[in-house]
Structure 1
């Protein structure tokens, strides 16, 4: 009986085990079915989406900045180039211990730990930590292999000639955008848009395919009309003169009057372009194109040219200069010497204010004003960089004092470039050429843009220009500009001395003057024209004493450099690049 009971129990247990096993098997089979369905959904239904998300996690977008175009002088000497540099950035969301990372980086990139830490705690995926690091610092940080820290290749602007033509060339900011000068004016040509490429990254966010993307095409290069040798001559001589006379500042422009090419623009004080953010803004100003001044006696050339062109006077006509004092109603005009009778030619040679005012009276105020505008004074010259307008009141705003002031360069403000362009009309047979400083924009051997000589104005006839050339030669040979004489060359030019007007426009500042000289050579067939402006010289202030010798020194060395004989044009100045 006992055995029968045991047999029944054993059979019942076996059945239970079998049922449970079957149930378990069904569950396992069901799990496999569900897993298969899930795998099908992953692979077939959501496969592309999940693949894209995985790819996104293992890839990153790399922004590559194209190399900024270079700037060269007319002889292809580099003035501004871009070198490769690396900038450090972080991904705050990938950095687990920002304080530790900040501590590690602080001493290398020379930024306080607290400042780095604040950046690394931001809710973003990208923060700049330090731009344009040195190679040695980059190597140190790479060896640390910090997760969430990486580098971006950028261009660093380098100016190999340092101070040379600094105000004209200008400079760029940390992001390679032009901020001043030619760098700013032609920024769109030299700086192309940043390109973006997709590349693989490791779990720390580092680029593991750095060479899998093409570098974008660089920006266009500029070929300037400047000559670094002539620029250096102008800057050295200007600096020497400003230091000698303890002047506030000064400027020099050298041009080819026959085609408008700028060969040099010098300003003092100057600065090293590689340290542009560490100097006073006063040094950055392109005085030759921006600063306005009353031209003084250099303006007498305009009055004289207008009178000759209108046939109201001849070179040998005699003018009574009133023994140095001339009453004009409420006003009195003075000369520096007590001249009595001077010919028209001698009035300009000796720079007589009284004689010039009497010449202007023969011309009339309306005609004088028209010629001022015809010579381009008071207006921009059209040069391809930043410049000032200048200032001359409309004729209907002239007072009874104006005809006793404007003819010899008062009540009018000009830039050095405007005054030089006006004198170029005499050097170039009555024609003023538009000044320009960028000769070409190039992409390798291909020319993208080319500035060619262009007539700007024709204020006087070739006959008038010839007469005035002879008169201006007399200024240097016999008159106030004798310190501008150069052995072996006929020089034509005019001195200028002017008081500085007060800021409120009411009268002049006692003891403050602007000294200038403008001229060209060889007089018969000019190759170069030069203007020298010295701001607030101390001790002496007459243009014939302060500015004329600077003109002589600059012109002498330029002619030696150009190796030309009298009246012979040379390839160096007139060449096209």
Structure 2
């Protein structure tokens, strides 16, 4: 039986209900539409941005460190190199991921995560886990537990807890972390600078800072060549801190820096260091310096100084490389500059006689007083140098004059840095202003002028090689990781004096050793030439010369007919039985002979690569 149709009364009664149903339906449809639109926006428009935010939370940009190039001696012995190590660092994101933290803490305490959740709130859970991590790390790190806890709880994205962790130690730590349920503390590869040479040549090699950049020495000088280009890789970790291999990004391999080879051979360097050490201690000197160079190329073969390094003081500003950074008044070894100026400009001739008087002399015009160690009377120009007459040298300098003296002092490299490239090199002092009467008499004999040992070596190198001042050459070559080699060629600066004058001066210098003040530098097996120097020691604090305190020097070359080396020996304030015994000829000359003997023996057996000097220019 069919149902009767609703009458109008029923329809009017049901109409409000229908309207409410329609309204509800409309609201539901509108709500679903908004949700659908929002989901569409999130999935299509906002998807890249949200994915990036999610990736930032768990993704890490890993720097693949490039090896800094090694520094080696001429024969390839490692003096400084990078070593693969690890560093331990914190990951703030994972250390504060409460769900994962709770599971690890529950495992540590031997309870279920749900049970732990009922007992501890989120903040207490994280604090308790950080305390556990700090306690474990305090057992392996040289830091107190409280300090480690502060580092772990820091708001910084990451903090490095340990550097220079060797591979074996890193593996042991990783096993420990797994056993103790440590996460959010990770190991990553890095490099550490190692110096197998230790304190050998340390003031030349220099050091690197915390970012492995050169601070001084060769490390800084060759920064552009030594520095490599780091690689990179993106990795992503899950909430538990485990890497997700499927999300590992493309790897850009690092490019290592070039190796740098010094001109110094450590076998010779060690011998020279030993001689320098003995001389410094035996003579109880304030400092001792020995420099050996190759005159034709300007190559530095060895350089040693004492005191050379205070390992107890990390402040590098207190470490002085006395070879380049500690100028001094050279004394009589500077006299060759006066003679070069006079000979080049024909103010004197080699055989000309000079009246050196009877030990004492006073200039009647300038009222200058000078003295010699003995009465020398009439001497040839050669004899003035051979017997180191201050009186004779002053009379020669009067012919040369101020302008010419300054010109030749500059030509021989004084008053300017040598250009070796090491940080801290000083130019010394050359009075280019108005001279006093004392300057006229003192500068020609090596006072009122300051030079470095390296400057003096390069000046004598010019006399040895035919008159060409060379730039000191400390770097022999650089070698890229692919084996490509770039040799650093010798660099002439200019012609300091004529080749004829240089030859004449070499003859004079041999005379100093054969018959003059440098007899203790003589060697039976080889002809040598050189000059002694004894200077009164000036105290800059007291602003006066100290009685009985001297700087003694000897600088020379061998073999004299074809010099292969130039060597300088300087001792500051050496002690002897009497002040009369403190002379360059007595103290420095024998040390010179010992160094020359060692060096010539070494050069005879060394397999040298042939080198050519660049074209000489500017001959006068």
**TM-score exceeds 0.5:** yes
1:431 aligns with 2:463: no
Over residues 481-520 of structure 1, what are the superposed CA-to-partner deviations in whole Å (9 max), with x where a residue is unaligned? 1111122111011111112222158431333322111111
- Residues 169, 182 of structure 1: 8 Å contact kept: yes
1:307 paired to 2:342: yes
Report the Cα distance in structure 2 between the residues aligned to 1:115 and 1:499, rounded to whole angstroms.
57
- Counterpart in 2 of 1:537? 574
The number of residues matched between the two structures is 547
8 Å Cα contact 2:229-2:257 kept in structure 1:
no
Any idea what the Cα deviations from partners look like across 1:23-81, whole Å, max 9, x if unmatched? 9xx99x98999887776555445444443344334421112221111112222222111
How far off is 1:301 after superposition? Answer: 1.3
Corresponding residue number in structure 2 for 1:106: 138
Residue deviations 1:283-317 (CA, integer Å, cap 9, x gap):
73211011100000100111122211122222222
- What is the CA distance between 1:447 and its match in structure 2? 4.5
1:282–1:384 Cα change, 3 Å? closer
Q: Structure 2: how far apart are the matches of 1:165 and 1:439?
A: 16
Change in Cα spacing, 1:485 to 1:206, as seen in structure 2 (3 Å) is farther
> SS of 1:487's equivalent?
coil
- Say which of 314, 320, 324 aligns to 2:355: 320
How far apart are 1:246 and its partner, in Å? 1.1
Residue in structure 2 matched with residue 407 of structure 1 by the alignment = 444
**Which residues in structure 2 correspond to 1:444-523 (within 5 Å)?**
444-445=481-482, 447=484, 450-503=487-540, 506-523=543-560
The residue number in structure 2 matching 1:7 is none
Matched, 1:440 2:477: yes
Q: Secondary structure of 2:358's partner?
A: helix
Taking the aligned partners of 2:77 and 2:155, their CA distance within structure 1 comes to: 48
Partner of 1:512, secondary structure, is strand
Counterpart contact for 2:344–2:498, Cα < 8 Å: yes
Counterpart in 1 of 2:111?
none
Secondary structure in 1 aligned to 2:276? helix
**Residue of 404, 421, 426 corresponding to 1:388:** 426
Q: 1:571 to 1:361 in 2, by over 3 A?
A: farther
Counterparts of 1:63 and 1:444, CA distance in 2: 20
Report if aligned partners of 2:231, 2:252 keep a CA contact under 8 Å in 1: no
State the partner residue of 1:52.
Answer: 52
State whether residues 177 and 183 of structure 2, in contact with CA within 8 Å, keep that contact through their aligned partners in structure 1. no
Asked whether the equivalents of residues 271 and 279 of structure 1 are also in contact (C-alpha less than 8 Å), the reply is: no
Contact 1:427 1:469 in 2 (8 A): yes
Q: 1:257 pairs with 295, 306, 312, which one?
A: 295
Matched, 1:203 2:252: no
Contact 2:83/2:193, CA 8 A, preserved across alignment: yes
Give the equivalent residue in structure 2 for 1:91.
91
Of 561, 580, 595, the match for 1:554? 595
Inter-partner Cα distance in structure 1 for 2:445 and 2:461: 19
CA contact (8 A) 2:368 2:437 kept: no
8 A Cα contact 1:269 1:283, kept in partner: no
1:84 CA drift (Å): 0.7
Give the match for residue 11 of structure 1. Answer: none
Work out whether residues 93 and 123 of structure 1, in 8 Å CA contact, stay in contact via their aligned partners in 2.
no
Task: Tell me, in whole angstroms, the C-alpha distance in 1 between the residues paired with 2:93 and 2:56.
Answer: 16
CA distance in 2, matches of 1:462, 1:48: 77
Q: Which residue of 2 aligns with 1:567?
A: none
State the shift of 1:120 in Å: 2.5
Contact 1:150 1:206 in 2 (8 A): no
- Alignment partner, residue 194 of structure 2: 158
Distance 2:243 2:360 in 1: 83
User: Equivalents in 2 of 1:426, 1:444: separation in Å?
Assistant: 40
SS at match of 1:493: strand
Flag the 1:204–1:493 CA change in 2: closer, same or farther, 3 A: farther
CA deviation after TM superposition for structure 1 residue 279, in Å? 5.2
SS of 2:291 mapped into structure 1: strand
3-state DSSP of counterpart to 1:104: helix
- The aligned residue for residue 67 of structure 2 is 67
1:218 aligns with 2:233: no
Further displaced range: 300-309 or 463-472: 300-309
Counterpart-to-counterpart distance in 1, 2:528 and 2:369: 34
Compared with structure 1, are the counterparts of its residues 48 and 360 closer, same or farther at alpha carbon in structure 2 (3 Å cutoff)? Answer: closer
- Tell me the residue number matched to 1:294: 329
Query: Which shows bigger deviation, 324-333 or 541-550?
Result: 324-333
Distance 1:341 1:127, change over 3 A: same
CA distance in 1: counterparts of 2:308 and 2:144, whole angstroms: 34
Relative to structure 1, is the Cα distance of residues 503 and 271 closer, same or farther in structure 2, using a 3 angstrom cutoff? closer
Which residue of the partner structure matches residue 175 of structure 1?
211
Q: Classify the secondary structure of the residue corresponding to 1:243.
A: helix
Deviates more, 1:545-554 or 1:315-324: 315-324
Q: What 5-or-longer segments of structure 1 have no aligned partner? A: 1-18, 565-569
Superposed CA deviations along residues 161-211 of structure 1, whole A, max 9, x for unmatched, are 222221111111232111120101111221235443211223244545589
TM-score by length of 2: 0.81
Match of 1:5 in 2: none
Conserved? CA contact 1:500–1:512, under 8 Å: yes
- Is 1:367 the counterpart of 2:404? The answer is yes
- What RMSD in Å do the two structures reach over aligned CA positions? 2.9
Structure 2 SS opposite 1:558: helix
SS in 2 for 1:304: helix
